[in-house]
Structure 1
Amino acid sequence: MGAMTPIDTLSGDGQFPCYIATPQGDPKAAIIVIQEIFGVNSGIRAKCDHWAEAGYLAIAPDLFWRINSGTDLDADVQAEFETALDLMGKFDQDQGIRDIEATIHRARTAVNGGKVGCVGYCLGGRLAFMTAARTDINASVGYYGVGIDGLLGEKNAIAHDVMLHIPTADGFVPTDAQAAMHAGLDDHPKVTLHDYEGLDHGFAAEFGVRRDEAAATAADARTTAFFKEQLA
C-alpha cells in the first residue's frame, strides 16, 4: 500500500526517506507513525498501512537516516537488537524532532491544511511527547515511551491532547518513573494516561514475541477513538 518517499528537511538543505501509505479517496487527516529504535521496519510499515486502510494519510519518517541508511531491524534477533541500541546511542533526539516537524509540514500540506496527529512506540513514544510539547501537532499518542519522567518540565507547553499507554512491568520504564509520570501528568488537562497491568515494553508491537494480543487490541482501540475525536 505504501512506498518510501523523500521529504525535505526543515532547513531545506536535504531530504530524508519516509514510508507513506495513502488511503483510497480523500484522507480524513494525517497520522505520523514514529519508529522504535528498530527503524521503519515491517511493523512500523504495517501500522502505517493500517491507518491508511482506516482513511488516514500515514507517514513514518526514517529518523535514523543521518546515522544509518535504511534501518530495518527485528527486535527478536539479538544481534539486531544490539545494533538498534547502538544506533539509539548515536541518535540526536532534538534533530529528530525537527525531522518530525518537517514531516508535519509535509503531511499538513498533503491534507490541504487539515489536522495531523502522531503515534510513537518506545523511542517514538518519547518523541511523541516531545512533539506535543515542541510543535503544533494536533494530537499525540505514545506507547511505552522511555524517559518521559525526565521531560515533565516541558508539560506546560502541551497545547493539544496527548494519550500515553503505560505497561506497568516495563523493563525500560521502572516503577518510579511511572509514578513520576502519573504525579506530573494525571492532573494535566490535555494528557490521559492508561496503565496496562503486568505487561512489558513492546506489548503493542505489530509482529513478534513481544506482542500481547488482548492488550494491543485494547490500546489500539483507545488510540483509534482518540484520533477519531481529535483529528475530526
Structure 2
Amino acid sequence: MKHTYKITGMTCGNCKATVQDSLRQVEDVFNVEVSLENQEATITMDKHVELGKLEEALPSKYTISQKEEKNVFASTNATSFQQEEEKTKLQQLKPLLLIIFYITVASILLHYKNWNWNDFMLDFMGLFYIVFSFFKILDLKGFPESFKMYDPLAKQVHAYGWIYPFIETALGLMFLMRFQVNIALVITLIVLGITTIGVTKTLLDKKSIRCACLGTALKLPMTEATFIENAIMIVMASLMLIF
C-alpha cells in the first residue's frame, strides 16, 4: 500500500535525504520517495503504519501529516495497491530467482561435457558478478542510497556505494578470465562478508527495506533470499581457497 504525506521543515537536499533515510528505518516501510519541491513523502508500506510511528522516526525539525487526496481514480489505485500488497514473497523475488537459475544453467552448460567443479564455480561466480553489476549500473545514482540502507561500509563511506558495482564487474572478469583468482576470492569474502553482516542485521531487526542486489531497476524486498545468495558465493569462495 502507498500513502502520500505532507512534510514540513525541509529546506535543502540534506533535509530531503534525512527525511528519506529516517522514514525508511521504520518497520514495515518498504520504500520512501521524498519531493523537496512539493514538501511531500510518498511511502510504500508492507502493511499500514500509524502516523505517530512515522512522526517518531523523524528528527524534531520536521513534521509529518496525512495528505488528503481527491482523485476520481482513487478506487482503481486502491485496488492496484491492494493487489501489490497481496503478492507473495515468491512472486516478488521471481526476477532474482530467474536470474540465478539462468546463471546456474549457463555455468552447467559450459562444462557438462568435461565436468569440473572448480570451473563451474568460477564461471558461476563470474557470471553472477557481471549480471548483478549490470543491474546496479543501470541506476548508478540511485543504487548508493539503497545500498547504504543495509551495508555497514556503504553507510560510513559514501564513495564505496558508487564504486561497488565496478568492484563486482572487475571480480566477474577476474573469475571468467581466470586472472588472479585467489585475490578475487579473498576480495569476495571481504566484500560479501561485510554486506552479509548488514543483511543479517536487517533481517533480525525485521526491517522492511528494498534490496539493492539488483540495483533499483527491479524493486525487490530484503528477504532471506538475499542472505542465501550471498552465502552461496561465500561458501564457493571459501571452498576454492581451502581446496
TM-score interval (norm. to shorter): under 0.3
- The TM-score normalised by the length of structure 2 is 0.25
Decide which structure has the larger Cα Rg and report it.
Answer: 2
Structure with the bigger RCO (C-alpha within 8 Å, sep 6+) is 2
Considering fraction of residues, name the structure with more strand: 1
Relative to total residues, which structure has the larger helix share, 1 or 2?
Answer: 2
